[in-house]
Amino acid sequence: MTSAIYIHIPFCKTHCPYCDFAVWVISHPRHANTIEAYIDSLCLEIKDRSHGEYIQTIYFGGGTPSILSSDQLSRIMQTLKENFQVSHQAEITLETNPGTVDLEKLKSIRQLGFNRLSIGVQTFDSELLQKLARGHNKEDALKTLSWAKEAGFENISLDLIFGLPGQSMSSWEDTIDQALSEQIQHISCYALTIEEGTPFHKMYSNSNHTHTNSAKNSVIPSEEITVQMYEKLQVKLLEKGFEQYEVSNFAKTGFQSKHNLTYWRNEEFYGYGVSAHEFIKGERKSHNRNLEEYIQNPHSQIVLDCNPALEELMLKLRTNEGLNLIEYQKKFDINLLTQKEKQIKQFQEAELIILSENNLKLTSKGFILSTYLIGELAV
């Protein structure tokens, strides 16, 4: 039964040079018509593809959903409430970027029923923020956080990135310390990946980590330093009472993202909007990435080729809940204990995985090597 909904809002104030998401920059009043047309199509899609299910999590992601006005967010929320039974306890998240909201807007967002904010801070180092062309600085991020609390949000997550060009270990530690001093409940952290086709790829791809751009301090930290940054994060967050419940996610007790756990538990969810993915009745589908085509025909989806056994393994091993090997065998007729006996033994001895009562999970040391370990355990 589907109880989670993802809503994709593809608009941003600027296009960050490292981002390869399907994003449209809203910089001119004429774009207002595009946004309105997009919301019309989005609401039509929601209306036509809903079956009145009982919904426990809704996540507005992007893009920058907080770029929408309160009235536009309200229209989408209203459509969701008219077409689904949204639980009174539902976790309803809005991705928000500093510089797109003020106190009044956050108060009205809270009144619309959003009860969780995921704030794209990335770093508290203003010089690095400028290189990332995020359009905000440290003060903007701190103001957004303070307004969010004043507006009544009691479930706030920060997005941070490490391994940035020119980022030193001390700058990274300052960012973690600042985040921890802000009394927030959740932190998502990702290492920067240089994606093909992005401006960062041109600037940094064949540089062997030491590109020749004249900008000072623009060297990308080595893999060794990036791993040390991740370890530093794990240690500091653990000390302050955060639990690492997924490779890139840390939460205070009771504040794990219910919505994202749906993905990692390999449960069903609706995805609405351009480029949005969804998982319903064993099928993964995606909308295409063309905004105009989506506005013309919001119902068109592509069924994705997938390997369900591999996906379940990859998703569940990302979390500290791990993978139940008995259930996995029942579902996919794969006995990992016999098929991967050598690797499981080797990783246990290296304290990278724990096998207990037929449940396999990565240790915090294992989370660092998750991509490699999951690859080795896949059948």
CB of 194 within 8 A of CB of 218? no
Q: Does 323 bind ligand SF4 (CB under 6 A)?
A: no
| Size, binding site for ligand SF4 by CB under 6 A | 11
CB of 17 within 8 A of CB of 128? no
Residue selected from 4, 7, 9, 16 as contacting ligand SF4 according to rule CB under 6 A = 16
325 CB neighbour count, 10 Å cutoff: 18
Instruction: Give the residue ranges of DSSP H helices in 61-125.
Output: 70-83, 103-111
Provide the minimum distance between the beta carbon of 127 and ligand SF4 in the complex, in angstroms, as a whole number: 18
CB of 131 within 8 A of CB of 218? yes
Nearer to ligand SF4, 120 or 298 (CB): 120
Tell me the one-letter amino acid at 10: P
- Burial pattern 125-154, b for ≥16 Cβ within 10 A else e, equals beebbebbebbbbbebbebbbebbeebebe
Taking CB positions, which residue lies at the least distance from ligand SF4? Answer: 19
CB of 125 within 8 A of CB of 174? yes
Residue selected from 2, 66, 97, 155 as contacting ligand SF4 according to rule CB under 6 A = 97
Nearer to ligand SF4, 105 or 134 (CB): 134
Provide the minimum distance between the beta carbon of 38 and ligand SF4 in the complex, in angstroms, as a whole number: 15
Q: Does 15 bind ligand SF4 (CB under 6 A)?
A: yes
CB of 325 within 8 A of CB of 359? yes
Q: Does 194 bind ligand SF4 (CB under 6 A)?
A: no
Distances (CA, A) of 28 to 25, 33, 305, 330: 9, 10, 38, 55
Q: Does 96 bind ligand SF4 (CB under 6 A)?
A: no
Residue selected from 5, 12, 86, 109 as contacting ligand SF4 according to rule CB under 6 A = 12
Give the three-state DSSP class for 229. helix
- Applying the rule CB under 6 A, the residues between 33 and 62 that interact with ligand SF4 are 62
Residue selected from 63, 165, 221, 366 as contacting ligand SF4 according to rule CB under 6 A = 63
Provide the minimum distance between the beta carbon of 26 and ligand SF4 in the complex, in angstroms, as a whole number: 10
- Burial pattern 205-236, b for ≥16 Cβ within 10 A else e, equals eeeeeebeeeeeebbbbeeebbeebbeebbeb
Q: Does 275 bind ligand SF4 (CB under 6 A)?
A: no
Provide the minimum distance between the beta carbon of 123 and ligand SF4 in the complex, in angstroms, as a whole number: 13
Q: Does 191 bind ligand SF4 (CB under 6 A)?
A: no
Q: Does 19 bind ligand SF4 (CB under 6 A)?
A: yes
Contacting residues toward ligand SF4, per CB under 6 A: 12, 15-16, 19, 21, 23, 62-64, 97, 120
